[in-house]
Structure 1
Amino acid sequence: MAESEHSSSDETDVDSQAERNQETKLEFSEDEEALVIRMYNLVGERWSLIAGRIPGRTAEEIEKYWNSRCSTSE
């Protein structure tokens, strides 16, 4: 019984660490942000095309970044 309690605690720690890593990854440089904006204006919400222009970024990261940072200014 004690082991199951301990393992669920470990899972919670892993989940919170993954969330922190995801938040850190969503920090885009000024160049990346400018490129995302330019590409969005050209191709719209085709995140995979935009991600193909930014090494190390996934379509999901870019979409999440766009939705959290840029879409509120429209």
Structure 2
Amino acid sequence: MADSEHSSSNENFTDTQEETSEATKLEFSEDEETLIIRMFNLVGERWALIAGRIPGRTAEEIEKYWTTRYSTSE
């Protein structure tokens, strides 16, 4: 019984870590923001190409950042 309780609490801890990690990843430094804007102006929506210039970032993170920060709802 103790093992199943321990396992359950471990899963909750892992879920919390993943949520915190994802939220942290979407925070970009000022330098990263500047680079994303400059690269977007040069190459457009080529997220993989932009992500290749920012260590530790994925194309999905860059695209999500861009769409939440700069997309217009017209």
Q: Cα–Cα, structure 1 residues 10 and 54, in superposed 2: closer, same or farther, change >3 Å?
A: same
Distance 1:16 1:36 in 2: 29
Q: Which has the higher contact order (CA 8 A, sep 6+)?
A: 1
Query: Where does residue 60 of structure 2 map in the other structure?
Result: 60
Q: Cα–Cα, structure 1 residues 68 and 2, in superposed 2: closer, same or farther, change >3 Å?
A: farther
Query: Where does residue 43 of structure 1 map in the other structure?
Result: 43
Q: Which amino acid aligns with 1:51?
A: A
Indicate the structure with greater helix content. 1
Q: What TM-score, normalized to structure 1?
A: 0.75
Q: Report the count of equivalent residues.
A: 74
Listed as ranges, the gaps of 5+ residues in structure 1 are none
Query: Where does residue 11 of structure 2 map in the other structure?
Result: 11
Q: What TM-score, normalized to structure 2?
A: 0.75
Distance 2:67 2:3 in 1: 40
User: Percent identical across equivalent pairs?
Assistant: 76
Listed as ranges, the gaps of 5+ residues in structure 2 are none
Cα RMSD (Å) of the superposition?
Answer: 2.2
The structural deviation recorded for 1:44 is 1.7
The structural deviation recorded for 1:22 is 1.2
Q: Cα–Cα, structure 1 residues 20 and 70, in superposed 2: closer, same or farther, change >3 Å?
A: same
Question: 3-state SS of the aligned residue for 2:71?
Answer: helix
Distance 1:37 1:54 in 2: 12
